[in-house]
Amino acid sequence: MSAPAVLVLEDGTVYHGEGFGASGTAFGEAVFTTGMTGYQETLTDPSYRRQVVVATAPQIGNTGWVAGSGSADGAGYGVSDDESGAIWVAGFVVRDLAPRPSNWRATSSLPEEMARQGIVGIAGVDTRALTRRLRTAGAMRCGIFAGDQVGTPELTVAAMLEQVRAQPSMAGADLTGEVSTEAGHVIPADGTERFAVAAIDLGIKANTPRMLAARGIRTHVLPATTTIEQIRALGVDGVFLSNGPGDPATADAMVALTRDVLTAGIPLFGICFGNQILGRALGFGTFKLKFGHRGINQPVRDHATGRVLVTAHNHGFAVDAPIDRVSDTEFGRVQVAFSCLNDGVVEGLECLDRQAFSVQFHPEAAAGPHDAGYLFDRFVELMATGAAAGPAASTKSATGKVSA
């Protein structure tokens, strides 16, 4: 028999359901994602740190959990669907939990893996009604209470609500240190190496180094505490700022590092949290969105080409920059390069006098559409331009390395 569970929002709204995964209590910011597929990638995305994710897709768990065996064949058997080494969401809310997985690649079920990692879930919730509330009132703190504690005299709605309201807000949350790697590691290029990149791990997803490797790039995944001196010592051709959780207004150290990279003239590419960091380094502010963008079907316009991309998103903060004009900054002229067609939010920045650009969405798209994959090619072009410009624009060490 399934254990009873209760979801309580900070505005006092209560949803009853059945617990799955681990028993216990989970607190976080309630947010919804509109992706119809890719729940495993979502759950293992570090950008969801301290968030309780609501799936708008009506049935979840059909494909089970694909942990992988470490070896792969041409059909992808043995390759994990994880985007990191652990589930990062604080909790998971679904409407209809599949009773069993139907996937030849599955190594276990979703509830089994969530229980193994201590993640609390609630099923049987009217997620359409819940999503409408979050769209109206905005993302808010919440708690999932599951197991034998539900229904006891001590755990009244008032007691649960008190615990929820005692939780910290996502505004002002500094979470980079909780998700960044402690020690750097290297992902080699596929085939002939063309460039090397320092990827600052603010919550990086596994598919990003894969996308870089496919373009002949060796990726040094580095901690968020990395300094400009350490980047120079590696002799890399470019710097990548990854996605990640938390409020960009707290990331002063990363902003300072980004300013050092811009000053040094090193080609730079940032996504998601990295876009917000670049925005702050250029002098723009950031702000918290009412309910954020999360899903794999967000329309974004590329201002350079007029092309509309269907893109993957996961962000609750955005850059405050003028869309209708070029801005003058300490690092030269900057323009908004992408914008969201749903609400006009800034979705990317481009430096016109520096070799740097960023996007708020996820061109690595795991899971999601591949419309924006060409942005990794833009990064390659930036590094090729930097290499052609000579030593003044390069961070290569005295020993040198293969380049385009």
Which residues participate in the annotated binding site?
Answer: 47, 244, 246, 273, 276, 314, 316-317
Q: Is 272 a catalytic residue?
A: yes
* Other beta carbons less than 10 A from residue 104's beta carbon: 10
Binding residues for L-glutamine are 47, 244, 246, 273, 276, 314, 316-317
Structure tokens at 62: 């059909």
- The secondary structure of 7-30, three-state, reads EEECCCCEEEEEEEEECEEEEEEE
Which of these is catalytic: 10, 41, 347, 364? 364
212: buried, middle or exposed (CB in 10 Å: 19+, 13-18, 0-12)?
buried
Q: Is 351 a catalytic residue?
A: no
Q: Alpha-carbon torsion 94, 100, 103, 107, what sign?
A: positive
Three-class SS of residue 120?
strand
Q: Is 29 a catalytic residue?
A: no
Distance, in Å, from the CA atom of 403 to the CA atom of 121, rounded to the nearest integer, reads 48
Listed in sequence order, the residues at least 6 apart from 22 whose beta carbon sits closer than 8 Å to its beta carbon are 114, 115, 117, 118, 119, 120, 146
The alpha carbon of 351 is separated from its chain's Cα centroid by a whole number of angstroms, namely: 23
102: buried, middle or exposed (CB in 10 Å: 19+, 13-18, 0-12)?
exposed
Which of these is catalytic: 10, 113, 272, 351? 272
Which of these is catalytic: 293, 313, 315, 362? 362
Measured CA to CA in angstroms, residue 383 lies from 3, 269, 340, 355, 380 at distances of 55, 10, 27, 8, 5
Q: How many CA atoms lie within 13 Å of 165's alpha carbon, on the beta-carbon side?
A: 10
Q: For residue 311, which of 234, 396, 222, 243 has the smallest C-alpha distance?
A: 243
Is omega for the bond preceding 367 within 30 degrees of 0, making it cis? yes
DSSP code per residue over 134-172 = HHHH-SEEEEEEESTTTTSTT--HHHHHHHHHTSPPSTT
Instruction: Please give the backbone phi and psi of residue 54, each rounded to the nearest 5 degrees, phi first.
Output: -105, 120
24: buried, middle or exposed (CB in 10 Å: 19+, 13-18, 0-12)?
middle
Active-site residue set: 272, 362, 364
